[in-house]
Structure 1
Amino acid sequence: MTEFSKLCKDIRFDILEIFEKGGRGHVPSAYSLVEILATLYFDTFKLIPENFKTQDRHRVLLSKGHGCLALYAILYRLNFYDKSEFHKFCKVGGILGGHPTRGKVPGVEISAGSLGHGMSLGIGQAISLKRKGLDKKVAVIVGDGECNEGSIWEAALSANKNNLDNFTVLIDYNKIQSYGPVATVCPLEPFQDKWKSFGFETYEVDMINNPRELKAILDKEQKSPRAIICHTKKGQGNSILESDITWHHKNKVSKEDIELLKGAML
C-alpha cells in the first residue's frame, strides 16, 4: 500500500467515525470524494490553517455539500479543528452539520447544500483574485447529479468569457445520484465534449485505478478554465457501499452496521 493509499484509507475510517457519532450522513458520496480532496489539500495546494487566514491563498470549494464528511475528515487531519467535534456531528453545540457552513467550520470556503451554486461562487473568487493581482487558483468540486442544474452551465459560460486560467472544476463522476443511475435520471454523455464546447481544457482521470494522475494534471500549466472529469465509484473503497444506492443517505445506523462497514474497507 502506498503512502497516499494509506492516507485515503485512514480518511475513510475518519468519515465512518463521524458518521457513527452522528448516526446519519451521506457516506458513499463522501467516499467517492476522498482521493480528489486528498490530492488537492495534501499535494497540490497544501492547505493549512495559517494559509486560510490570508487572501493570498489557493481555494477549494466543495459545491457537492452532501459529501462534506470527506471534507471534515481532511480538515481535522490538517488541524483546522479538534477531533472532539466528531462526537457532536449533527448535534446542538457542534460545528459539523449535515452540510458545511462557512464561518462555523474552520477551513470551509462556502456554505453548501442547495446544489449548483459552488461553481458560480468559485468563478467570482477566481475573478477577484485576478483583479487583486494574486497568483492563486480556485478549485470547485461538483457532483455528476449536480450537473443536472442549469446554473452549472451558466457558470461555465462565464468562466470561458472571463478566460479564467486560475479556475478548475472537478466533477465527481461516480455515475449514481440520489434516485438512480445518472445515465437513467439525466444522461450527461458525451460529457467531455460538453465541457470542451464551453471552452474548458478538459481531462478525464481514473480515480479508482490511477488516482495519482490527478496531481499530474493539476500541476500542468493552465491557459483557460479547466474541467477534470474524475471517474469514481459511489462508496469507493468499501465493498458494502460501492455502487449501492440504498446507502446514499442514512439517518439511522446500528453498531452492527458500523462493524460490518469497518470490516468491508478495501
Structure 2
Amino acid sequence: MDNESNRRFDPARMRRTVLEMAYAGSTVHIACAFSIIELLTVLYRCHLRYPDNDPRADGRDYLVLSKGHGVMAQYACMRELGWLNDIDIQGYFKDGSDLKGLSDSRVPGLEVTSGSLGHGFSVGVGIALGLQRQGTDQKVYAVVGDGELNEGPIWEGALIAAHHKLDQLMVIVDKNGFQAMGTTDDVLALGDLSAKFASFGFETLEVEGHNEAAIDAAIRHLWATSPGKPKALIARTVKGKGVPFMESDNRWHYTRLNADTFVQAVAALAPFRGSK
C-alpha cells in the first residue's frame, strides 16, 4: 500500500461521501454501506485490476456487489478513482441521476443490477465460469450480506462454484449480524458460516472486517492456497461502523438523515480512520 493509494482511499473520507449522498438524496441504507467500507477500500486499493483505469476494460477483474443496497460504499470508491465527480455525488437519487439506491449495471463500474438479494452471487459464479472457459487470470469478487445467505440461490451458486472448481472466485461475506427486519439470528440463524462454506467446498478464512491490513493479508492468503477451490472470506463487521450513534443500531437500515443528524454524523467521523 503506497502513500498515494492510502490518501486516495481513506475510509473516513469515503464515509463522508456516503453521508453526503444520503443527505443529498434523502435516502436510506447508510449503515449498510458503512459496514463494507474497509472491505471495498482494500479491494480497490490493492487487488482489483482495471487496465488504464477503465471500469469497462476487457481485462478487468470483477467486483459483484450482490448486497446491492450497500452501493453508496462502491460509489464512494468510484469517486476516489475519478469515475464519479462531485456533481454525481450531489445529484445522487435525484431526478435525472444515473445513480440509484441499488447497484445498476448500466453505470460503468457496477457489474450487476442487484438488490433482489441472493441473486448477485450466482451472477458472479456465472462470470467466473465464463472467465475460466476463456482461460484468463481475471478474478471475481462477490460481496454478499450475511442476511442474504438465507436465500437458496446463494447455496445453489456455491455448489456450482465448487463443482466447476472456480478458484478465481472469492465470496466476501459482510457479517454484521443484521438484516432489514432484525438480527440474522432472530430472522433465520445462519450458524457457523466458515463451516458452511467449507462444507460446500470453499477454502475459507475469517477476518476482522474493519482492519485493512488483516483484510489484505487474508485475501492474499486465500489466493495463494488451495488451487481448484473457490474462496470465502467471512468478514466480521459492525453495521453503521464509524458513526457511534449508528453502530449496531438497525434503525439506520431505513432511517434518513436530517440537517441535525447529518452534522452530527460528519463530526463523529473526524477521529475515525479505521485500522491499517
Aligned partners of 2:95 and 2:32: how far apart in 1?
Answer: 24
The CA deviation at 1:48 is 6.5
| TM-score normalised over the length of structure 2 | 0.90
Aligned partners of 2:51 and 2:165: how far apart in 1?
Answer: 28
Q: Are the aligned partners of 2:49 and 2:60 in contact in 1 as well (CA < 8 Å)?
A: no
In the other structure, the counterpart of 1:152 is 154
In the other structure, the counterpart of 2:18 is 15
Aligned partners of 2:53 and 2:46: how far apart in 1?
Answer: 17
Runs of 4+ more than 4 Å apart:
2-6
In the other structure, the counterpart of 1:60 is 63
Match of 1:204 among 200, 203, 206: 206
Match of 1:140 among 134, 137, 142: 142
Q: Are the aligned partners of 1:49 and 1:79 in contact in 2 as well (CA < 8 Å)?
A: no
Gaps of 5+ in 2: none
| TM-score normalised over the length of structure 1 | 0.94
Moved more, 28-37 or 81-90: 81-90
The structure-2 alpha-carbon separation of the partners of 1:213 and 1:47, relative to structure 1 and needing over 3 Å to count, comes to farther
The structure-2 alpha-carbon separation of the partners of 1:49 and 1:20, relative to structure 1 and needing over 3 Å to count, comes to farther
Aligned partners of 2:55 and 2:101: how far apart in 1?
Answer: 22
Q: Are the aligned partners of 1:49 and 1:78 in contact in 2 as well (CA < 8 Å)?
A: no
How many residue pairs match? The answer is: 262
2:251 is aligned with what amino acid? T
1:242 is aligned with what amino acid? E
Q: Are the aligned partners of 2:50 and 2:57 in contact in 1 as well (CA < 8 Å)?
A: no
The CA deviation at 1:211 is 3.1
The CA deviation at 1:152 is 0.4
Matched, 1:258 2:259: no
Q: Are the aligned partners of 1:205 and 1:211 in contact in 2 as well (CA < 8 Å)?
A: no
Aligned partners of 1:264 and 1:92: how far apart in 2?
Answer: 30
Q: Deviations over 1:91-111 (max 9, x none)?
A: 1111110112112x2211111
Moved more, 132-141 or 48-57: 48-57
Aligned partners of 1:54 and 1:35: how far apart in 2?
Answer: 24
The structure-2 alpha-carbon separation of the partners of 1:47 and 1:163, relative to structure 1 and needing over 3 Å to count, comes to same
1:225 is aligned with what amino acid? P
Aligned partners of 2:257 and 2:207: how far apart in 1?
Answer: 33
Aligned partners of 1:246 and 1:53: how far apart in 2?
Answer: 36
The CA deviation at 1:52 is 2.7
Match of 1:187 among 186, 189, 197: 189
Q: Percent identity of the aligned residues?
A: 35
Moved more, 256-265 or 40-49: 40-49
User: What is the Cα-based RMSD across aligned positions, in Å?
Assistant: 1.7
In the other structure, the counterpart of 2:220 is 219
The structure-2 alpha-carbon separation of the partners of 1:35 and 1:48, relative to structure 1 and needing over 3 Å to count, comes to farther
The CA deviation at 1:49 is 6.4
SS of residue matched to 1:52: coil
Matched, 1:70 2:49: no
- The 5 Å alignment of 1:102-121 reads 102-103=105-106, 105-121=107-123
2:71 is aligned with what amino acid? C
Q: Deviations over 1:146-188 (max 9, x none)?
A: 1010110010000000000100000000011111111111111
Match of 2:91 among 64, 68, 88: 88
SS of residue matched to 2:212: coil
Gaps of 5+ in 1: none
The CA deviation at 1:54 is 2.5
Q: Deviations over 1:38-93 (max 9, x none)?
A: 11111112446634333221111100000111011111110112220112211111
In the other structure, the counterpart of 2:180 is 178
Q: Deviations over 1:169-224 (max 9, x none)?
A: 0000001111111111111112211110000000000123x331111122231411
2:23 is aligned with what amino acid? E
Matched, 1:236 2:241: yes
